[in-house]
Chain A
């Protein structure tokens, strides 16, 4: 899926826009809303502009999720790991492994 080279951005229809939108998002150097080829179209189609703004807001907000939520695994997870380490069934690359 790529943006067809023969797309006439000055006479773009909403259906065409919808079709190429995933590629515009995937390949855009910057934001789709700032794409100069789309200025005229987005100005004339406020619902499409709203869609782009919303999707950009979602993508921007997603980056904040990289930081972990205030939740940790239960203590049992580390106890299990410690147990396996003590058993010697897990050692680093210097010696045995049980894979």
Chain B
């Protein structure tokens, strides 16, 4: 698979996700910047970078959990974008396309580093600490109210990598299980199972926030 989500062999069809399109409406001035960037206008590149750098960086940071790696990946994603912008045809929102490109670059890098995304580590070798507890428990008063974004962000950062990857892709980014399974090379059932375990683990972390350690994402965003 290349970074644009195009598969060499075989070639599964992953259609633009209409939900993602709705969640990523066009931004004022973006279309003009895209058109100019296709002609090589450096100011247009700068404009697109300004419009999208936070979302791309946030996505990288969530998936990689490391500031330095996230900055390197952000750089790679935009360089890749500027190389391939001609292939953007407007069939989905630009931000959706850019997100997919970034996700695929991150996954490619993780594979190069030898991380086995299929096993998602917890499936094969769960640890007592990582595996969500099986008790149902009573309704959490924190969760019963409006869930604090910072608290959730902190808890997500505490998830084991495999759980975090599926949770970010599905619940935050809006990918479907079949898309995640295609991207990660795992079964749809595995994706569903990992997502459920991720949510259970988040529930635990939100009920016991004192167990969470300080993550790079939170420490930066709270500055």
Whether the Cβ atoms of B149 and A47 lie closer than 8 Å is no
Whether the Cβ atoms of A94 and B78 lie closer than 8 Å is no
Q: Name B219's closest neighbour in chain A (CB-CB).
A: A71
Q: Is the interface of A mostly helix, strand, loop or mixed?
A: helix
Residues of chain A within 8 A (CB-CB) of B45 are: 81, 85
Looking at the assembled complex, report how far the CB atom of B28 sits from the nearest CB atom of chain A, in whole angstroms.
17
Q: Which A57-99 residues sit within 8 Å CB-CB of chain B?
A: 57-66, 68-74, 76-78, 80-81, 84-85, 90-94, 97, 99
Whether the Cβ atoms of B70 and A90 lie closer than 8 Å is no
Q: Name A25's closest neighbour in chain B (CB-CB).
A: B196
CA distance A48 to B134 in the complex (A): 11
The tally of CB-CB contacts under 8 A between chains A and B is 158
Whether the Cβ atoms of B140 and A73 lie closer than 8 Å is no
Residues of chain A within 8 A (CB-CB) of B100 are: none
Q: Which B158-178 residues sit within 8 Å CB-CB of chain A?
A: 167, 171-174, 177
Interface assignment of B17: CB less than 8 Å from any CB of chain A: no
> 1/0 per position for B84-127, CB-CB distance to A under 8 A?
11110000000000000000000000000000000000000000
> 1/0 per position for B126-139, CB-CB distance to A under 8 A?
00000000101111
Q: Name A60's closest neighbour in chain B (CB-CB).
A: B147
CA distance A21 to B58 in the complex (A): 30
Please tell me the number of chain B residues within 8 Å of chain A, measured between CB atoms.
Answer: 60
Take A77-B75, A92-B85, A97-B83 as given contacts and tell me if A72 and B137 are in contact as well, using a CB distance cutoff of 8 Å: no
CA distance A57 to B151 in the complex (A): 13
CA distance A88 to B171 in the complex (A): 39
Whether the Cβ atoms of B172 and A71 lie closer than 8 Å is no
Residues of chain B within 8 A (CB-CB) of A23 are: 192
CA distance A49 to B144 in the complex (A): 12
Partner of A68, one of B23, B57, B78, B152: B57
CA distance A72 to B220 in the complex (A): 9
Looking at the assembled complex, report how far the CB atom of B75 sits from the nearest CB atom of chain A, in whole angstroms.
5
Whether the Cβ atoms of B40 and A94 lie closer than 8 Å is yes
Interface assignment of A44: CB less than 8 Å from any CB of chain B: no
Most central of A47, A65, A97 by chain B CB within 10 Å? A65
Whether the Cβ atoms of B199 and A65 lie closer than 8 Å is no
Interface assignment of B184: CB less than 8 Å from any CB of chain A: no
Partner of B149, one of A65, A81, A97: A65
Partner of B83, one of A47, A59, A91: A91
12 contacts between A and B (CB under 8 A): A22-B193, A22-B196, A25-B196, A54-B203, A55-B196, A63-B174, A72-B54, A76-B71, A77-B74, A78-B46, A84-B79, A91-B40
Task: For the complex of A and B, list the 3 residue pairs with the smallest distance between their C-beta atoms, beginning with the closest.
Answer: A93-B86, A50-B139, A62-B171
Known A26-B192, A54-B140, A97-B83; 19 more pairs at CB < 8 Å: A18-B134, A47-B137, A50-B139, A51-B136, A53-B143, A54-B144, A54-B203, A58-B152, A64-B149, A65-B149, A66-B172, A68-B54, A68-B58, A70-B221, A71-B61, A73-B57, A78-B49, A91-B83, A93-B86
